[in-house]
Structure 1
């Protein structure tokens, strides 16, 4: 009888733990400055591809989702200190980042591309890697890292905000801006009279986006990986592609470039 009571107590304790875990909100960090992935609507409500992904993940886990809008360079520190549970913010999986945080399996792939000023006559990445050329980058992004490592002949102009870097190209103060293909495409569609989008990949390998998780949180990482696999197979990502990225996808297909999802 005593052993049975102990087993019942242990079972109740485990059940309580699971219930409490399920009730605890999943706090997701993202920088709401990157449409159509992470942005806010006119009322300040988070919206976009990544927000929809976060909500679908919460539904899969049976947990309410709380979005925290955090500046890009504060996302990883917030994750490491436990302020947030997860980062879903178009973050590329890199060896450097994996030294301090974990990532899910990839849920999307991307490549760097170039937004060039129309008068700069830039045709490819090598044309940017010349003395006298100026390249705008957003601080801490893979475009910034790539330019630091491979484009040493050009002058780098480093900005905290994407729109500041784009403005430099529009005004002819920079010859090109390095960022992911979809962002370059979006900015080109908004500024066709002054810019050119060079979307074909110039890196040897594509970049992959993952959901960032605090090191040691293996249980959450396993659940997130299972969700990503399901979302890829059940059409969740395809539906988001049609909802937010239909025009871009058509352009990429026409150019023969592998698409994001």
Structure 2
């Protein structure tokens, strides 16, 4: 039985996530300190485990194919290094001795994980990872790798953890497929953000798409190895049963999926909510895309991904994340990237369904 340092509460949303209408683009820049919202708890306003995604404010492998990046450029946290010194003794000996935390990430998923103008890792995940590392007195090294290689890299100990919009699901925890067959050793998660899956289409929604069932009979593009890829695999079966085959193009990056939608070779792309909002509101997208009006396909938490045999690191990260939430650093990072509606009130281990 695995021990957690915080009471284990399942992140089960009691609300319906509804996509926003296009609004202010979540530009990746840091607002002046005077504009950063204060920690709600400091004002006596506790928040729920996961806040609804409101419409107004939202928004590789080591060796072959991997790229190692030290530091985080613009994602340097403004807090004293080693302020979580009391937690260092709980870190795995190898991490503690090296003083380095190797974090796997797919740096092509703005505004969550991407490269800034200086080529350094930027976005929600790199900044949170750097803040956690700095709190623990560790230097963070980012390993840029394809998304589908992240979990295998964690399991083979090529990296200490993955932090790249990886949605915590029961299947990923247990390493099983849709039929319950064991396919890999599984992983553990420390959940830190609530997200949902949105359907993104060409501006004007020329085909009139709304729900998953409306995709039947069409071609959809998604990034390979993602939860959205899994959703489409299940939907392909459902569409086949009603005689309206669904064709899915699984591609290497979300940029490729977007390009297919823009070119008309696919009618839709499925994105995590913050990324979908960025893709439909950011000026560099040129107004080419929009979200459908239907409810989210699926909601779930992003989780820091660690090996099943690395409970020490999991528990230390859980406690460190709780402290960043409590001291307001977590809120400031989310505010910088305009994703405050996905905030959680505490770290949760394996809360995905």
The answer to whether TM tops 0.5 is yes
Which structure is larger by alpha-carbon Rg, 1 or 2?
1
CA contact (8 A) 2:104 2:163 kept: yes
The within-5 A match list for 1:3-14 is none
Residue in 1 that maps onto 2:199: 114
CA contact (8 A) 1:32 1:39 kept: yes
Give 1:151 shift.
4.1
Give 1:229 shift.
1.7
> Once the two structures are superposed, what CA deviation does each residue of 1:9-53 show, in whole Å capped at 9, x if it has no partner?
xxxxx9xx9798254211111111111221112332112211111
Relative to the length of structure 1, the TM-score reads 0.81
Q: With CA pairs under 8 Å and 6+ residues apart, which has the higher RCO, 1 or 2?
A: 2
Q: Within 1, Cα distance between the matches of 2:94 and 2:146? A: 32
User: Structure 1 pair 199/160, CA: closer, same or farther in 2 (3 Å)?
Assistant: farther
Residue in 1 that maps onto 2:143: 68
The within-5 A match list for 1:117-132 is 117=202, 118-128=205-215, 130-131=216-217
The within-5 A match list for 1:27-66 is 27-66=102-141
> Once the two structures are superposed, what CA deviation does each residue of 1:92-121 show, in whole Å capped at 9, x if it has no partner?
112222122432331011111010123121
Contiguous gaps of at least 5 residues in structure 2: 1-88, 176-184, 240-245, 344-353
1:195 to 266, 289, 294: 289
Which shows bigger deviation, 222-231 or 99-108? 99-108
User: Structure 1 pair 63/197, CA: closer, same or farther in 2 (3 Å)?
Assistant: same
Give 1:141 shift.
0.6
> Is the partner of 1:225 in helix, strand or coil?
helix
Structure 1 segments, 4+ long, off by >6 Å, are: 17-20
Q: Within 2, Cα distance between the matches of 1:199 and 1:55? A: 36
CA contact (8 A) 2:210 2:294 kept: no
Q: Within 2, Cα distance between the matches of 1:39 and 1:199? A: 27
Q: Within 2, Cα distance between the matches of 1:180 and 1:200? A: 15
User: Structure 1 pair 194/52, CA: closer, same or farther in 2 (3 Å)?
Assistant: closer
> Once the two structures are superposed, what CA deviation does each residue of 1:115-138 show, in whole Å capped at 9, x if it has no partner?
01231211333211x22x111111
Give 1:234 shift.
2.4
> What CA RMSD, in Å, does the superposition of the two structures yield over aligned residues?
2.3
User: Structure 1 pair 46/202, CA: closer, same or farther in 2 (3 Å)?
Assistant: closer
Q: Within 2, Cα distance between the matches of 1:20 and 1:138? A: 32
Question: In proportion to residue count, which structure has more helix?
Answer: 1
CA contact (8 A) 1:86 1:212 kept: yes
Contiguous gaps of at least 5 residues in structure 1: 1-13, 250-258
